[in-house]
Amino acid sequence: MSHFQPVALGHASRLVNHGPTVLITSRSADGTRRNVMAAAWSMPVEFTPPRIALVIDKRTYTRELVAESGVFGICIPGVALCDITYAVGSESGREVDKFARHGIEWQPDATLGVPLIEAGCAAWLACRLIPEPHAQDAYDTCFGEVLSASADARVFAQGRWSFRDDNTALQTIHHLGAGNFAHAGRTLQAKAST
């Protein structure tokens, strides 16, 4: 049984506000080919409409598929997917079907058809590419608008993350380099300014 629940679009930026490493999923225009890669470089750029920016190297298969289809998914892996996240960041989808190789469960987004991963992930966002040829060419920076989002209610509900000792497997991971990740297990509350 899936614990995923829709996330209001006004809350979508919160899913990536704290800088998690993500999985970018993509498909060909005709839907017959698909890919998944890891990306540490992404950020929200607007709350409403929810828009994000992310870096996708122009030499990657993902970039080719996103350019072709105009859509992509952002899946936010939890600790449970740490090994697979690292693995799919160092393989090319031109050479191997990474979903099959790693036994990654996915289903197509109902509207955009991009592969979405729920098992092992804390959340996903389904996005439409906003074509920006100069930023894509000069900085490999792709802008996208979030059209729908969903999160596992055990770790994100009512627009808020809740990282606790009982949901470690779903805690977001943040790549430090060379396969070493911080995960969002410890939190603190800032005192309001006086």
Which residues of the chain form contacts with its own copies (CB under 8 A)? 14, 17-21, 40-46, 51, 53-55, 79, 82-83, 85-87, 90-91, 132, 134-135, 139-141, 143, 159-161, 163, 172-193
Considering the complex, what minimum distance in angstroms separates the CB of residue 28 from its own copies? 24
Select 95 or 191, whichever has its Cβ closest to its own copies: 191
Select 55 or 153, whichever has its Cβ closest to its own copies: 55
Q: Which residues have a Cβ under 8 Å from the Cβ of 134 and sit 6 or more positions away?
A: none
Secondary structure class of 15 (helix, strand, coil): helix
Considering the complex, what minimum distance in angstroms separates the CB of residue 14 from its own copies? 5
Considering the complex, what minimum distance in angstroms separates the CB of residue 88 from its own copies? 9
Select 3 or 58, whichever has its Cβ closest to its own copies: 58
Look at residues 51, 9, 20 and name the one whose alpha carbon lies nearest to residue 144.
51
Select 82 or 117, whichever has its Cβ closest to its own copies: 82
Q: From CA 131, how far away is CA 23, in angstroms rounded?
A: 20
- How does strand 42-46 pair with strand 107-108? unpaired
Considering the complex, what minimum distance in angstroms separates the CB of residue 25 from its own copies? 18
Q: From CA 75, how far away is CA 84, in angstroms rounded?
A: 13
Instruction: Tell the residue number behind the tokens 């191997």, with chain if given.
Output: 96
Report angle CA 15, 60, 171 to the nearest 5 degrees: 25
